[in-house]
Amino acid sequence: MNISTTTEQISFEDLLTAIQPVDGGREIKDPATGALVGRAPEHTTADLHAAIAAARTAQPGWGALTHTERSTYLNLAADAVEANAETLAVLLSREQGKPLNGPNARFEVGACAAWLRATAAFQLEPEILVDDESGRAELHYRPLGVVGAIGPWNWPMMISVWQLAPSLRMGNTVVMKPSEYTPLSVLALVHVLNTALPVDVLHVVSGGREVGEALASHPDIDKLMFTGSTATGKAIIRSSADTVKRVTLELGGNDAGIVLPDADPQTIAQDLFWGAFINTGQTCAALKRLYVHEDIYEDVVAALAEVARSMPMGVGLDENNVLGPLQNKAQFDIVANLVQAAKDSGARVVLGGNPEEGQPGYFYPTTLIADIDNDNPLVAQEQFGPALPIVKYSTIDEAVEKANALEAGLGASVWSSNKEKALEVAARIQAGTVWINKHGAVDPRLPFGGAKQSGYGLEFGVEGLKHLGQPQVISY
């Protein structure tokens, strides 16, 4: 194995030049200011076919490497990300809108490097199933082939790494299709990663819906990974059916949080805020509906409002801001309409709910809505933005019933000063992950996946690696 250890630093201008088309391309504008960020190439299905063919040709050589050799490449890719971290963060902030500081752009780029290293470090040894007088049987995981990955616009770089890192580690090659809203971030990330990776093991194709549909149905794609809406996930399942692809789907969340009556409102307020408003609420596993016991309801509402008022929102390149705009006009309209429906129903606006008109950027103010019914659209539909409904409950049974009422089940949380009580409630919630006194704290070591219509398959950790390999039993 001959692996180059040279790490290249690329200027912002050179990186944009490398990923933009020489002529034409689709304009990508900053959602905070409306300024032009750059131009994205408009790849076609022919470009996709060429990328898949190149990835398939490269796969046998990549798959023939050992886990240790592929892990070495992943660590070198992490070095490349770290060497270009600020350039990537600035581009991400300008295209996606998230601020540089707080749990935002710099955090996301840092998470890319950390996830690459964590994935490289996992041990996946053959499992001995039987070893006795009758014989021996071992369970191995072989490469699947070529993995197709379709990513979202909310965490475009980090979720891309969630998809590509374990795929590569398991000996697959990868073809990625980024969101049409944030193609530059993923193009730039892949360009940086490919300074460390062998030729053709990782491709990115920037195109429209027809490219995504072609990727989902392509006979030479062996596994498909998708993060996004439940509606799109269902369409991908249909597109993948004829080729019986393996599929991992991480879909819409609408996560519930339950605050038990023994919780301390002041103690939990900061973590509640970031559980709901990280990335300005644009996170699949964000806290999107909060259930608070009537005994401490007003205290929790007040404590949360106090924290929310202190969090500055504005243009991402301003070092003072920790909240940014919604990434696109369509999402702004969804949030605005859901909040208006809540206001029309008579729910109490504790904070926000009044976006300024005539201002540049898709800024929606941090909004807290209290005294709202569980069937209100702001509660029942995933808002995916900076507006949190807070629902009062009287009994734990009532809270659990309301939390489980929807078909979404990605994550959930329980907030309490009594761990045993919190664990009892957590066991009753229908969600892939339930956090105690925190929300949305994903960890590369811990398997992550949805329940109900929030998707299927697992990501992260050793279990995530297994979902990107072909199980093979060898019995002798």
Q: What one-character DSSP code corresponds to residue 443? A: -
Q: Is 123 helix (H, G, I), strand (E, B) or coil?
A: coil
Which residues on neighbouring strands pair with residue 293, listed in sequence order? 393
Tell me if residue 398 is catalytic: no
Tokens 């990537």 locate to 88
Distance (Å, whole) CA 310 – CA 182: 29
Alpha helix ranges (H) inside 41-96: 45-64, 67-83, 85-96
Q: What angle do CA 355, 361, 364 make, to 5 degrees?
A: 30
DSSP state of 126: P
For every residue of 212-272, DSSP letters joined together read HHHHHH-TT--EEEEES-HHHHHHHHHHHGGGT-EEEEE----EEEEE-TT--HHHHHHHH
Taking residue 103's Cβ as centre, other Cβ atoms within 10 Å add up to 17
Closest-CA residue to 209 (of 185, 180, 233, 234)? 180
Question: Nearest to residue 233, comparing CAs of 404, 454, 447?
Answer: 454
Question: Does residue 404 contact residue 429 with C-beta atoms inside 8 Å?
Answer: yes
d(Cα 349, Cα 347) in Å, to the nearest integer?
7
Contact 423, 382 (CB under 8 A): no
Chain-centroid distance, C-alpha 214: 22
Quick count: other Cβ atoms within 10 Å of Cβ 284?
Answer: 27
Give the tokens for residue 48: 């996709």
Active site includes 284? yes
434's CB contacts (< 8 A; 6+ apart) are 411, 412, 413, 414, 426
250, 382, 398, 401: the catalytic one is 250
List 108, 284, 382, 459, catalytic entry: 284
Alpha carbon distance 451, 430 (integer Å): 7
b/e burial code for range 25-34 (CB count within 10 A of at least 16 → b): beebebbbbe
Size of the chain, expressed as the number of residues it contains: 476
Single out the residue of 133, 86, 379, 124 nearest to residue 256, CA to CA: 379
In the sheet that holds 246-250, the strands lie side by side as 202-204, 173-177, 146-150, 223-227, 246-250, 455-456
Q: Where are the beta strands (DSSP E) in 380-427?
A: 387-393, 408-409, 411-415
* 107 in Cβ contact with 153 (< 8 Å): no
Q: Which amino acids are annotated catalytic?
A: 250, 284
